[in-house]
A = this chain, B = another copy of it.
Amino acid sequence: MNFGSDNWAGVAPQIAQSLTKHSQGYAAPYGTSDLDKALEARFNDLFEREVAVYFVGTGTAANSLALSSQNKPGGVVMCHRDAHIFNDECGAPEFYTGGARLAPIDGKLGKFTPKALDYELSRFQPDFIHHGQPMGVSITQATEWGTCYQLDEIEALADVAHAHDLPLHMDGARFANALVNFDVSPAEMTWKNGVDILSFGGTKNGCWCAEAVVFFNPEKARELPFMRKRAGHLFSKTRFIAAQFHAYLDDDLWLELARNANVMAQQLAEGISLSSGAELAWGCESNEVFAVMPSDKIEQLQKAGAHFYEWNTPHSLDLGISDKRRLIRLVSNYSTSKDEVINFLKLVN
């Protein structure tokens, strides 16, 4: 019963096997092997167009490279107040950009509205240099609160960004979980609705450490090879990332893995909403479930071996949290089993 985070999980067996399979013999380093090249081509297919794709080992590297590729002096990136890039990357985007700023926008459950975005952007006037200048907009899909932007919401945000001549970046650390939630194509979730750059995450969904920065306009990525190397994120034995991603994409394994995580989350959510011992904080749209629970119930669950974290309440949401009623976060993953869910729900009731 481990619902701590999807990064507590291991690696899908197919991915472990692929690594072993590719571990012997010689291959060209630094992204130039056949396996590497084949993977790049595969991303074109995956996204139904030519893309420029760069592989790295962490989501923080992917996000930071994506944002710093659009760097401007005095630059400001608009993102949600609860975004991973804003809260959980120890200032990596700021470091990579040499001091650009992330400007947090409020919004319900990890999502901000086109109107809120437009309001924040309109405070910057091209000739008033003192404020700095916007250089990008970043959204997270699925969000840190387990919610997802609808396709038309993405499009509307992209329209605002583009009207201000800014690129739209999507942090897709849980991209697969969002895809599975809507059952749409990667292209639809991204460039067909205006996304310009995607951090495509594999790590949280059954890889060891496999992330990609995908540019839908390859022209805008010209400096990325230098930026990645300069940041120490170009592996020499790159086939190690490629081997993970090939297995990840083979036979739509990645969607299958995400589907398991989402289904398990859905069952957790349903079980909780039907239980007498806890309350679903809000609906689950990916693989994160948030619930309000009596404090003694939380302790009881933990003693019984359930692993999960208490969580801060989202801004401006009244969940009636107190010393006696607390918010918890449950994250399912590619390997979560039905038994884990059933056992957990038994304890909740």
Chain A residues engaging chain B, CB cutoff 8 angstroms: 2, 4-5, 7-11, 13, 15-17, 19-20, 22-30, 56-62, 64, 72-76, 87-92, 94-102, 129-133, 203-204, 208-209, 223, 225-227, 229-237, 240, 307, 335
Contacts and interface: CB of A to CB of B under 8 A. Distances in A.
A101 B98 contact: no
Contacts of A88: 130-131
Contacts of A30: 7
A95 B19 CA distance: 32
A231 B91 CA distance: 9
Contacts of A16: 19-20, 23-24
B229 A208 contact: no
Contact of A226 (B28, B74, B223, B231): B74
A242 to B, nearest CB: 12
Nearest to A65: B232
Contacts of A129: 90, 225-226, 229, 234
A30 B92 CA distance: 16
A131 B4 CA distance: 18
A209 B28 CA distance: 15
Contact of A10 (B26, B59, B96): B26
19 contacts: A2-B26, A5-B29, A7-B236, A11-B24, A16-B24, A57-B57, A58-B234, A60-B232, A72-B226, A73-B226, A91-B132, A92-B230, A98-B98, A129-B226, A204-B236, A208-B237, A209-B235, A209-B237, A232-B233
A26 B11 contact: no
Copies in the complex: 4
A201 to B, nearest CB: 10
Nearest to A209: B235
A80 to B, nearest CB: 16
Contact of A29 (B8, B91, B132, B226): B8
Given A99-B97, A129-B226, A209-B235, A10 B29 contact: no
A31 B171 CA distance: 23
Given A16-B19, A232-B64, A29 B7 contact: yes
Contacts of A19: 16, 19-20, 208
A235 B57 contact: yes
A19 B207 CA distance: 12
A322 to B, nearest CB: 18
Contacts of A60: 229, 232, 234
Given A23-B11, A90-B132, A230 B74 contact: yes
Contacts of A74: 90-91, 95, 226-227, 229-230
Nearest to A127: B225
Contacts of A236: 7, 58-59, 203-204, 209
Nearest to A232: B61
A28 B8 contact: yes
Contacts of A209: 57, 235-237, 240
A90 B5 contact: no
A69 to B, nearest CB: 9
Given A129-B225, A235-B209, A236-B203, A94 B99 contact: yes
A101 B91 contact: yes
